[in-house]
Structure 1
Amino acid sequence: MQTHSQTLQIQIPNSLLQKVDSLLQKVETLEQSLSLQTPAAEPNYIPRLKLAERLQISIGTLHNWTCKGVLTAHQIGGKIYYKLDEVEAAMVELK
């Protein structure tokens, strides 16, 4: 069995090549712009002041919930943090 190959040459006008190059550059610029606009992942831990603000409660209420075991606090040095997934898990659905 014999295999034959042929080469086909196509000439593309320079104006078309320039338009393709321009489009490729615009796509690359758009990709870079979109990757810069991607929001950063939210940290897993949140300081107690920010959590109280987010939940619209006082620090005292947050402290009481921690003492009652509703929420678990984590400490590094003198700073107190809460895990966001633990806070979400503590939420109960009202029926």
Structure 2
Amino acid sequence: MDAIIFTKDQFSDLMSKLDTIQNQISFKSDPKKETYLDNLEFLTLLKISKRTAQTWRDEGKISFSQVGSKIYYKLSDVEKLMQEHYNKAFKGR
């Protein structure tokens, strides 16, 4: 077994790098913050009309939050909507 000797500066540098790595790991493991889309962003993203968005809200196809007259959608709910209506390619004939 070999012994490795560090100078004080080398040890401090090594500890600093380990702290940086630990902070990066901790940051990446934090739960993802939810992203919200306002109504215009939602309409633009899905290329739908205001009326279609209203129909989807009325039918319960998409969840939403309303603050005053502004409507917001969770990006995860939009992704869920798209995944629920995903159709795999039909088998070729």
51, 55, 71: which one pairs with 1:60? 51
Runs of 4+ in 1 over 3 A off after TM superposition: none
Match of 1:71 in 2: 62
The TM-score, its normalising length taken from structure 1, stands at 0.53
Identity of aligned residues (%): 37
CA distance in 2, matches of 1:89, 1:50: 17
Give the letter aligned to residue 83 of structure 1.
K
Measure how far apart 1:94 and its partner are. Answer: 0.6
RMSD: 3.5
Which structure's relative contact order is higher, taking Cα pairs within 8 Å and 6+ residues apart? 2
Unaligned runs of 5+ in 1: 1-41
Normalising by structure 2, report the TM-score: 0.54
Q: How far apart in 2 are the matches of 1:87 and 1:57?
A: 13
Q: In the TM superposition, what is the alpha-carbon distance from 1:90 to its structure 2 partner?
A: 1.1
Q: Give the structure 2 partner of residue 33 of structure 1.
A: none
Q: CA deviation at 1:88?
A: 0.5
Q: Provide structure 2 residue ranges, at least 5 long, that are not aligned to the other structure.
A: 1-32, 89-93
Aligned residue pair count:
81
Larger Rg: 1
Q: 1:43 and 1:49 mapped to 2: Cα distance? A: 18
